[in-house]
């Protein structure tokens, strides 16, 4: 085993002889300790896992097959009178399978407290989708929220990107998009 010495010489541990390094007049740098090298490897491995995991989540978003989509359904809140113009707008709203898949891809999971950032309309479209081999039941509200259910799993999603606008009737206010500050950047909370 060779050990680098600050003087630019190498010490052969087997013979305890100093070997001169003729190409270097500058002090040689010592190798990082085994613990430091191992810590660096663990950090790299951790980053690799995170990158793979985020790619898997991105792939999951794209891996959706819409099985069926129903016509829009107008359902005013219990006890509330129906409004003919709202009912007409709801009947005119439709999504095909590709558009329903786009709602899924463009949406993000809503965190607790974010649902109130969206409007609600008494109009929705229901259907079924296959995501990662499992069948999910979904309901997309005309104001950009959607609920996706599979057994005990439920995902409450919100579609607030500008690309969602042609897919829904009523967008959330753009002056402050849900989960974002007034400049459109992710909020700190």
What are 37-90's pLDDT values in tens digits?
Answer: 676 666 555 555 444 433 444 455 568 999 999 999 999 988 888 888 899 999
Beta bridge partners of 149: 137, 154
Q: Where are the domains of the chain?
A: 64-176
Nearest to 91 by CA among 135, 125, 136, 132: 125
CA distances from 139 to 132, 144, 163 (A): 19, 10, 19
- Distance in angstroms (rounded) separating the CA atoms of residues 140 and 127: 9
Nearest to 144 by CA among 111, 104, 182: 104
Q: What is the mean pLDDT of residues 21-44?
A: 60
Say if residue 22's pLDDT is above 60.
Answer: no
What are 154-187's pLDDT values in tens digits?
Answer: 999 999 999 999 999 999 986 445 565 554 556 6
Q: What is the mean pLDDT of residues 17-32?
A: 52
Q: What is the mean pLDDT of residues 114-128?
A: 94
What percentage of the chain reaches a pLDDT higher than 70? 60
Beta bridge partners of 17: 12
Say if residue 133's pLDDT is above 50.
Answer: yes
CA distances from 64 to 37, 50, 59 (A): 42, 23, 10
The 8-class DSSP code of residue 112 comes to T
Residues in CB range of 177: below 8 A, 6 or more apart: 117, 160, 184
- Distance in angstroms (rounded) separating the CA atoms of residues 161 and 131: 22
């Amino acid at each position: 085993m060779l050990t680098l010495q600050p003087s630019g010489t190498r010490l052969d541990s087997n013979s305890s002889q100093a070997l001169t390094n003729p190409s270097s007049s500058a002090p040689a740098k010592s190798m990082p300790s085994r613990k430091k090298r191992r810590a660096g490897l663990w950090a790299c491995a951790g980053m690799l896992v995170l990158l793979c995991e985020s790619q898997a989540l991105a792939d999951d978003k794209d891996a959706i097959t819409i099985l069926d989509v129903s016509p829009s359904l107008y359902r005013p809140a219990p006890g509330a009178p129906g409004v003919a113009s709202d009912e007409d707008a709801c009947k005119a709203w439709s999504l095909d399978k590709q558009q329903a898949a786009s709602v899924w891809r463009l949406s993000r999971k809503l965190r607790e407290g974010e649902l109130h950032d969206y409007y609600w309309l008494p109009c929705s479209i229901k259907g079924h989708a296959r995501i990662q081999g499992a069948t999910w039941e979904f309901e997309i509200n005309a104001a950009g929220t959607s609920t996706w259910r599979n057994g005990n799993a439920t995902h409450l999603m919100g579609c607030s990107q500008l690309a969602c606008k042609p897919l829904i009737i009523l967008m959330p206010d753009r002056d402050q998009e849900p989960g974002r500050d007034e400049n459109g950047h992710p909020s700190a909370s």
